[in-house]
Structure 1
Amino acid sequence: MSWLNVKHATYLDPWIRVPLMWPEPGLEDVEAAQSPQAWARIFAEAWWEDFATEKPRPGEVELLTDILVMHANRAPAICPGFDVFLHLPHPRDIPITVFVDLLEIEEEDCDTALRELTHADADYAIEPPIVEKFDSPHLGTGLRVLRYFQDEDSNEVHAGLRYAWRYESGSEAADVLILLSHPEPGRIIRAFPDIDEFARTIRISPDEEADTWKSA
């Protein structure tokens, strides 16, 4: 059996992995893994130190801490079971929440499945989605789909981005999905290089590597 390996994405800047439970299993002695508040405070301070050329104004570390706590509490419930990452290139930016998971195959035809997973033919999009093949060194060729849609609550135009692949190895088969959306379309467009790099780090690893955090 194999597992979805997102470990390498944790080494990329400017990405933050959001733990799915507290304290995080196996990290009971790590302060940042004990609670959303501890995790958020540590990362808020680190992000201002690492990604800002200026010092934070009064209250800005606390503001980012509150934003991260909100994401830690809410994001895992949006797509239960998905791994969750935040794209945050500057501590004053609004994070992009990215979800990643390995899915049981529901549609046998690969092309049809990838189009369904990426919403390549979404009838709710305000213009035809931009559908492109996307190559991964670990997952092969999949699809990347960018679409624009109107939010039902605010009527604002949002951007959504999805990546999908069919993974097959011997008797094992599954679909891999990455999804995200944002109320500021330009924010996703500017983040494209980082998101593409992130997507190309995702891989499927054999069970024997499950306990090796830095396995290739």
Structure 2
Amino acid sequence: MVEPFPTELLGEGFRASRYLQQDDTSEVSAALRYAWRDEEVGVDVVLWTAINDTAQVIRAAPDIEELAHKVSVAVWELEPEDEASADVQS
């Protein structure tokens, strides 16, 4: 299941949940994913969790969603390597 997931920090994204039974076992796995595209910085952001304990994902879902609302992109301007090495030699 995929649905829109807007956040204040990253804008419109998507939340996807999936339940999957492996071919070789009766165990059911659960996955919960969030994804955004930050056009300003030019990056994709993905937050995901997957586990064989579906009840654990269901219990943790509110906390994971709270975390997803707090995810942001930070960009630091780093000095070029040649300038950094010149400072070390001084």
Q: TM-score, normalised by structure 2?
A: 0.76
Which segments of 5 or more consecutive residues in structure 1 lack a partner in the other structure? 1-129, 209-216
**Out of 36, 40, 43, which is 1:165 matched to?**
36
Deviation at residue 159 of structure 1 after TM alignment: 0.6
Q: How does 1:1-216 map to 2 (within 5 A)?
A: 130-169=1-40, 172-208=41-77
2:61 aligned counterpart, secondary structure: helix
Deviation at residue 135 of structure 1 after TM alignment: 1.4
Question: How many percent identity over aligned positions?
Answer: 42
Deviation at residue 191 of structure 1 after TM alignment: 1.1
Deviation by residue 1:157-211 (Cα, 9 ceiling, x = unmatched): 1111111001111xx3111011111112121111111000111111011305xxx
Deviation at residue 154 of structure 1 after TM alignment: 3.2
| C-alpha distance in structure 2 between counterparts of 1:177 and 1:144, whole Å | 10
| C-alpha distance in structure 1 between counterparts of 2:44 and 2:56, whole Å | 27
- 1:199 maps to a residue whose letter is A
Which segments of 5 or more consecutive residues in structure 2 lack a partner in the other structure? 78-90
Alignment size in residue pairs: 77
Runs of 4+ in 1 over 3 A off after TM superposition: 152-155
1:138 aligned counterpart, secondary structure: coil
2:58 aligned counterpart, secondary structure: helix
1:134 aligned counterpart, secondary structure: strand
| C-alpha distance in structure 1 between counterparts of 2:24 and 2:71, whole Å | 33
| C-alpha distance in structure 1 between counterparts of 2:12 and 2:29, whole Å | 27
Deviation at residue 153 of structure 1 after TM alignment: 4.7
Name which of structure 1's ranges 141-150 and 179-188 shifts more when overlaid on structure 2: 179-188
Deviation at residue 151 of structure 1 after TM alignment: 2.6
Q: TM-score, normalised by structure 1?
A: 0.34
The answer to which structure has the higher strand fraction is 2
1:207 aligned counterpart, secondary structure: coil
RMSD over aligned CA atoms reads: 1.5
The answer to which structure has the higher helix fraction is 1
